[in-house]
Amino acid sequence: MEYPKILKAPIGKHSVKPNLENYEKIRQEFSWDQVSKELDWFDSDHINIGHIAIDAHLKTERRDKKALIWESTKGQIEEFTFADLARLSNRFANVLSQELNIKKGDRVFFFLDRVPEIFIGILGTLKAGGIIGPLFSAFGPEAVKDRMADSRAKVLMTSSALKKKIAEILPELPDLERIVIVQRGKEMSDPEDLSYEEAMARASDSFETFRTSKEDYAIMHYTSGTTGKPKGAVHVHNAVIGHYATAKNVLDLHEEDIYWCTADPGWVTGTSYGMFGPWSNGITQVVYEGGFSAKRWYTFIERWKVTVWYTAPTAIRMLMKAGDELPGQFNLESLRYLCSVGEPLNPEAVIWGASVFGKPFHDNWWQTETGAIMIANYPIQDIKPGSMGRPFPGITPGILDDDFNELPPGIEGNLCVKPPWPSMFRTYWGKEEMYQSRFKNGWYITGDKAKKDKEGYFYFVSRADDVINTAGHLVGPFEVESILIEHPAVAEAGVIGKPDQIAMEVVKAFVSLKEGYEPSEDLQHDIQKFVMKRLSSAAAPREIEFIDSLPKTRSGKIMRRLLKAKELGLPLGDTSTLEED
Ligand code: AMP
């Protein structure tokens, strides 16, 4: 498809003055210290994200403003003001500190669907000084075990149905002291667990928020790499400065906005921009419990008159697939500003937004480790479809060669960012050496390849490693390979990302079988189901190819690069380290 190379600002109608009015000027004058003064600190060193997101507004007119409007898949609606969330998170903080003996720095994990209790639980944990660890509810037992065992979480908040799904791994978590069950009208299955509803009913409304220091750990999100199990990227309370500033200036949130972030709280977008960014700005958010459905989504936007919408490229491509006529059946006039993150946003999707909604999607780039948006398109700037935009003021990204020399515009290299910034991760939990290895010569190495143009617009090129980005979910090939080889029929496995029109990449596995097993469609389905059940549907190979043996280095490492080159019909490159038959 032919598309314009530039969309000149201002694009679409702007019913409000953008918060970031002059990019160059703000970039020059920007200081994180200055921004941090807009937040309600306890003193110059102490701040708590739970307080900033919710309680800080109680002294203002926002006290009785709606903070969260939740709609269930069945159409049930629950609404919470900032005062309600303050009171309920206080209760949960009391439950944690009085009934569950949670102390500063203890890990509290969440394995829940997108229900209001996850928001209350997370806010309460932060207020009590704990570290939150949200897990995607589609995870299988193995994925949950890896993360909870590594973090040595003390408390898990879940539902009876989700607990049942992971029951087999619970005995393997010696540090897990107690499970809190969100009942929502359902029976408790185990009397040893704590009922959320019963504990909340006993707890007091008042709680004195823990005066965490700005460098105290607050948030853990697990992220996948090329090798090894997922690593817990740890963020501190100071990160909220980044959430606040970017939500204000990139998502352009204004007092009257109705904001919808489609990300699940299990991922970093779901906490940074599904909780802390918008709420630290005192914004009303709407949350839909369910997953993707074009019709449901348009209905949701129409019903709640969503003004700012933050979503992801795969969802946009699925909406495109659902057709251009469908949005015309809804009144989507309320939409004012659209943003996207998580994977490359193809130029066609940017233009499609402009033609269907009268405004394009504004792409932005960041990752679990950066904690907040680093590169973005802004309302006052021209959009170059296909570009992630320009650096956020206060952030200095660079394109570097392998010797850490900055490369000129137009040349591809490693995307790096100059540390520090407030929301930068502070460690990988228990893996300090690995954390340190991400910093060299005064740069943080993001693991992405990119380039920039003369005007400072950045373009994503690819991952520098083997990590697969499928529908915005990072999948570590090692994680999938380790599960595959646990299947009784599988001898060896190699996993790659295969290009896909909608999800950008899907997981493809090359598998060699043990003696006595023959390739068949049934076996293929069985292996797929095995991974889906143990890890998650995103990680389950969409395709399985049976091969006699996998290409390996002489040291026995599977050469995914070769599998990928073969799959894509590309030159095989340097094969000098390849094992000889
Ligand atoms: P995660 O840590 O799961 O949030 O994934 C971060 C990774 O997703 C980045 O390192 C990129 O590889 C990819 N990513 C995020 N945003 C974008 C974007 N706007 N364009 C291209 N890739 C992106």
Domain assignment of residue 536, yes or no = yes
Mean pLDDT, residues 483-495 taken together: 94
Same domain, yes or no, for 62 and 144?
Answer: yes
Output the average pLDDT for the chain.
Answer: 95
Report which protein residue has its CA nearest ligand 1's atom 20. Answer: 344
pLDDT in tens, 472-482: 999 999 999 99
- Mean pLDDT, range 541-560, rounded to an integer: 87
- Residue 302: CATH number of its domain: 3.40.50.12780
User: Within a domain: residue 10?
Assistant: no
> For the ranges 404-408, 462-466, 484-488, which has the lowest average pLDDT?
462-466
Mean pLDDT score, 321-329: 95
Q: Is residue 545 situated within a structural domain?
A: yes
C-alpha 509 to ligand 1 mean position (Å): 22
Distance 291 CA to ligand 1 centre (A): 20
Domain boundary among 401, 416, 449: 449
Single pTM value for the model: 0.94
Tens-place pLDDT, residues 61-118: 999 999 999 999 999 999 999 999 999 999 999 999 999 999 999 999 999 999 999 9
Residues 426, 81: Cα–Cα separation, whole Å? 32
Q: What is the predicted pLDDT for the residue at 575?
A: 61
Task: Clarify whether residues 162 and 264 are in a common domain.
Answer: yes
Backbone angles phi, psi at 340, to 5 degrees: -145, 150
Residue 1 counted as domain residue? no
Q: What is the CATH number of the domain that holds 535?
A: 3.30.300.30
Query: How many domains, in total, are found in the chain?
Result: 2
Question: In the structure, what pLDDT confidence band is assigned to residue 5 with cuts at 50, 70 and 90?
Answer: confident
Cα(520) to ligand 1 centroid in Å equals 36
Sign of CA dihedral 134, 140, 141, 147: negative
432-463: per-residue pLDDT in tens?
Answer: 999 999 999 999 999 999 999 999 999 999 99
CA nearest ligand 1 atom 22, residue: 343
The pLDDT tens digits for 262-293 are: 999 999 999 999 999 999 999 999 999 999 99
In a domain, 562, yes or no: yes
pLDDT confidence of residue 3:
75
Q: 392, 417, 449 — which closes off a domain?
A: 449
Q: 13 pLDDT exceeds 70?
A: no
Q: What is the DSSP letter of 204?
A: -
What pLDDT is stored for residue 581 in this prediction?
Answer: 41
5 found inside a domain? no
Per-residue burial over 42-69, b if 16 or more Cβ lie within 10 Å, else e, is eeeeebbbbbbbbbbbbeeebeeebbbb
Check pLDDT > 70 for residue 1: no
CA nearest neighbour of 18 among 391, 374, 423, 362: 362
Q: Which atom of ligand 1 is nearest to the CA of 467?
A: 12
Q: Are residues 85 and 185 in the same domain?
A: yes
Condensed to tens digits (0 to 9), the pLDDT of residues 21-33 reads 999 999 999 999 9
Residue 440 lies in a domain: yes
Residue span of the structural domain in which 64 resides: 23-449
Evaluate whether residue 309 is within a structural domain.
yes
